[in-house]
Structure 1
Amino acid sequence: MLDSTAAVLLARTARAQRDGRVPSLVAGVVRDGGLAWSTGRGAVPEPHRDVQYRLGSISKTVTAITVLRLRDEGLLGLDDPLDRHLPGTPLGDRTLGQLLGHLAGAGSESPGQWWERTPGTTLDGLALSAADVVLPAARRFHYSNLGFGLLGEVVARTRGRRWSDVAREEVLLPLGMTRTTDRPDGRAAQGYAVHPWAEVTQREPEHHAEVMAPAGQLWSTAGDLARLGVFLLGDTGDVLAPGTVEEMTLPAGVDASAAGWSAYGMGVYVLRGADGTVLVGHGGSMPGFLAGLWVDREERTGALVLANTTSGLDGGLPAALLADVRAAEPRVVDAWVPEPSPVPLELLGPWYWGPSPYVLRAVPGGLLHLGGLGGPGGTSRFRPGPDGTWIGLDGYFAGETLRLDRHALTLATFVFTRTPYDPAAPVPGGTEGWT
């Protein structure tokens, strides 16, 4: 970071700690594969990068990674009903994918006492009932800590060991997150609640959440959390395939209660600002702690915050730090370089869906892009598929198969022709000719 940029970031962080009345706060910016800038404010011990704070719901990102590893290994599918891997719950007909996207209609919290402030229990100890199913499946986004507790139990039963052990051995250690643990270990901050009307604090309790641990149990440091940010920016360390991380960031359920455009993928939120900036990440809260990790995948930059307070801190601090970096030190994009076309050049250029003009382009990465030309129309990128076909990556035709021919493109039931309703092409319904 330039000294001038660091000064702006420090000033913003210092104001957030003071105005939020936070006992201690660590903030950082992730860039170029690591923690490029960080600071500690308040009563934070040194070195601030190595002090553990509770991550809260950022743990859900790690849980989603463990589930997707099992999916990529073929041990489960996102369309699998929960009952197939965790029989006997009232949510047995809801799919694993719905649970990952908070679309399963599961209750927001586990039954019984306030799970974040009392010792946890086993799945049997939760004694789940029909009351824990609060909405129909796939009807609307409904944030569910309970759902991620159940996903962690699926991971534990599939692997035959505790979820926390799976997360540590298969995700955290391979990523180099050696200071991320399920309980405080070594140098760790004490959690506090700050009185709303006085300048006094009290300690918050901390217990093992047991079956609810995958929803919010983990403790981490700024250095380790920065590595998770690097993972979300694309350096996956072979823990997941880059395409799977991309899949995590695809919006599934829209959070209609959010002030702006907000959706949830799988284990991460996806936020689009008014300026078109898209942030991916997660916030977290547990009694005595607040946390946030957000990355701008286009700018290849992330920001994080860790604080030991139950409430008060402005949750928009990471996004504000990213905006400061974007304004002061915008990313210099890679130079454009030529690359071979993945298909013969004669197949590229204008095509027509009926009378509507589209254009097929070759785009970087060996992909194709089909979109409306000068007007509205479904837009998608395509990756190579089997037998010379192409498979939709995103947009209207995600998952659909595109077949290329010199005289016609076929996509779903549509036929694209070189001229509007070309009589020489196999247009469904035939053509009568233009008059």
Structure 2
Amino acid sequence: MLPTTEFALLRRIATEQSVNRAPSLVAAVVRDGAIVWSGARGLVDGTPPDTGTQYRLGSITKSLVAAVVLRLRDEGRLDLNDPIDKHVPGTAFGGVTIAQLLAHTSGLTSESPGSWWERSEGGPWADLEASLATGAAKHRPGRRFHYSNVGYGVLGELVARARGTGWLDALRTEVLGPLGMTRTTDHPDGRHARGWAVHPFADVVLPEPAPDAGAMAPAGQLWSCADDLARWTAFVGGDTGEVLHPDTVAEMREVATVDDGDAWTAGYGLGLQLVRTGGRRLAGHTGSMPGFLACSMIDPATGTGALAFANTTSGVAILTLVLDLIAIADEQEPALPREWRPADIDPALLPLTGLWHWGPAPFHLRVLANGWLDLTPATGPGRASRFRPTGDDEWLGLDGYYAGETLRVHRDAEGEPHHLDLATFVFTRAPYDPSAPIPGGVDEGGWR
């Protein structure tokens, strides 16, 4: 990036590391699937960390586990509305759904009963399940957002049973390997930062433990580095490779629950945290474990993302730091618009384009790449949506009011488009065309 931008980014992380006393801190800005800037402050074993130095991901692990769950859904192995009892039978909370577990609306307790799991050696699934036999439900399922580390322990067991292997093996095979995230592991491997607690009233540090969390590991076990997390940041923004369809990742970014229904600033999707600030809508996840803080966020609208790691239990405002890095990059060096180029469009779709009317309201229909359609009001606000082809003369709504609804093209005797049927609404070339099957009919006297 430009020297002025790089200095502004470096100054931001230098201020964070110094003021909030982090033993070390490494950060990066991501665009077009790659790191375009990285910086570090502090020391790891006597030298500055780099983009290959491992730190703990903490709860960013949850997003990776969620990707495997969505792969199972896309394969038809499960439905997000399935009760967990269908796939992991016998629990005391079998009625909660997979979607509720993904979005932290299951009502399950936030932490596993017993010793603080993040600092304790974890046991197998049977031990976790037994500890949840009574008192696991803190809220009615679906009632509210209640962050549940336990819920992701349950999802890890779901993945293990669905794949017939451990959740980590499934993650390595289906996500980490295909994305090239070779430095993301369950325990430190190679150069890594040690986790520290910084004394609140003196400039001294205390080492933090890093035990294996056992059945709770899917909630926050993994270690990673900036190089790997940059690839994951791009994935969340839509650069999904062959791991998931971009539509599925867009679904993960949809709001399932928010902190305030009137003017929300923080929310949660399917395994992803959501932030709304300064006109932006970002997705990613924060992470914390004893001795570590981490964060990855991206703005899908601009394609700019950022990430940061610090090896301190608390103090560093890790989310604010990452949001500031994204803002600095986009304010000082806005991403250029993609070059316009003619699209490869089936000429047979061109007769669909142009002006259509829902009753007296005019709409424009455009053909997009890959045979998608875009329906928007000709003037002012209204029900706009994009549609993906699903068969001959059929498209599926992707967003807005018509998300999930089917648009069908009806043709005349010559095979020309005559009218559109969209969720029972009939669109015609002329307002209330009497030759179309307008519900309720058209007055024989016509317009007057």
The two structures share one fold, judged by TM-score above 0.5 = yes
Does the aligned pair in 2 maintain the 1:260–1:273 contact within 8 Å? no
- The corresponding residue for 1:291 is 294
- Cα deviation for residue 22 of structure 1 reads 1.2
User: Given residue 428 of structure 2, which amino acid in structure 1 is its aligned partner?
Assistant: T
- The corresponding residue for 1:133 is 137
- The corresponding residue for 1:419 is 430
- The corresponding residue for 1:431 is 442
Number of matched residues? Answer: 434
**Inter-partner Cα distance in structure 1 for 2:425 and 2:162:** 42
Whether 1:383 aligns to 2:383 is no
Change (3 A) 1:350 1:65: same
Secondary structure in structure 2 of the residue aligned to 1:147 = helix
**Inter-partner Cα distance in structure 1 for 2:179 and 2:38:** 20
- The corresponding residue for 2:23 is 23
**Inter-partner Cα distance in structure 1 for 2:67 and 2:323:** 23
How do 1:26-105 residues align onto structure 2 when only pairs under 5 Å count? 26-44=26-44, 45-105=47-107
How do 1:226-241 residues align onto structure 2 when only pairs under 5 Å count? 226-241=230-245
- Cα deviation for residue 90 of structure 1 reads 2.3
- Cα deviation for residue 330 of structure 1 reads 1.5
Secondary structure in structure 2 of the residue aligned to 1:132 = coil
Deviating more after overlay: 156-165 vs 247-256: 247-256
- Cα deviation for residue 293 of structure 1 reads 0.5
Does the aligned pair in 2 maintain the 1:342–1:366 contact within 8 Å? no
User: Given residue 146 of structure 1, which amino acid in structure 2 is its aligned partner?
Assistant: V
**Inter-partner Cα distance in structure 2 for 1:83 and 1:304:** 36
**Inter-partner Cα distance in structure 1 for 2:296 and 2:135:** 33
**Inter-partner Cα distance in structure 2 for 1:46 and 1:304:** 17
How do 1:7-18 residues align onto structure 2 when only pairs under 5 Å count? 7-18=7-18
Whether 1:157 aligns to 2:157 is no
Does the aligned pair in 1 maintain the 2:41–2:49 contact within 8 Å? no
- The corresponding residue for 2:315 is 312
- Cα deviation for residue 428 of structure 1 reads 1.2
Secondary structure in structure 2 of the residue aligned to 1:41 = strand
- The corresponding residue for 2:374 is 369
**Partner residue of 1:144 out of 148, 151, 155:** 148
Secondary structure in structure 2 of the residue aligned to 1:150 = helix
Secondary structure in structure 1 of the residue aligned to 2:432 = coil
- Cα deviation for residue 116 of structure 1 reads 1.1
Deviating more after overlay: 214-223 vs 371-380: 371-380
Whether 1:280 aligns to 2:291 is no
**Inter-partner Cα distance in structure 1 for 2:171 and 2:352:** 47
The CA deviation string for residues 63-106 of structure 1, in whole angstroms up to 9 with x for no partner, is: 01121222233322222221111011122122212211222222
| TM-score normalised according to structure 2 size | 0.91
**Inter-partner Cα distance in structure 1 for 2:51 and 2:262:** 31
Does the aligned pair in 2 maintain the 1:27–1:222 contact within 8 Å? yes
Does the aligned pair in 2 maintain the 1:291–1:307 contact within 8 Å? yes
- The corresponding residue for 2:191 is 187
**Inter-partner Cα distance in structure 1 for 2:76 and 2:418:** 39
Deviating more after overlay: 22-31 vs 369-378: 369-378
**Inter-partner Cα distance in structure 2 for 1:312 and 1:342:** 59
How do 1:209-220 residues align onto structure 2 when only pairs under 5 Å count? 209-220=213-224
**Inter-partner Cα distance in structure 1 for 2:171 and 2:55:** 18
Secondary structure in structure 1 of the residue aligned to 2:41 = strand
Change (3 A) 1:30 1:59: same
Deviating more after overlay: 388-397 vs 200-209: 200-209
Deviating more after overlay: 46-55 vs 282-291: 46-55
- Cα deviation for residue 260 of structure 1 reads 4.6
**Inter-partner Cα distance in structure 2 for 1:162 and 1:254:** 32
- The corresponding residue for 1:321 is 325
Secondary structure in structure 2 of the residue aligned to 1:391 = strand
How do 1:197-276 residues align onto structure 2 when only pairs under 5 Å count? 197-256=201-260, 260-275=264-279
| TM-score normalised according to structure 1 size | 0.93
Q: Which runs of 5+ in 2 are unaligned?
A: 411-416
**Inter-partner Cα distance in structure 1 for 2:251 and 2:81:** 15
**Inter-partner Cα distance in structure 1 for 2:37 and 2:323:** 15
- Cα deviation for residue 343 of structure 1 reads 5.5
Does the aligned pair in 1 maintain the 2:42–2:49 contact within 8 Å? no
User: Given residue 236 of structure 1, which amino acid in structure 2 is its aligned partner?
Assistant: T
Secondary structure in structure 1 of the residue aligned to 2:117 = coil
Does the aligned pair in 2 maintain the 1:357–1:373 contact within 8 Å? yes
**Inter-partner Cα distance in structure 2 for 1:6 and 1:385:** 46
**Inter-partner Cα distance in structure 2 for 1:142 and 1:350:** 47
Does the aligned pair in 2 maintain the 1:342–1:367 contact within 8 Å? no
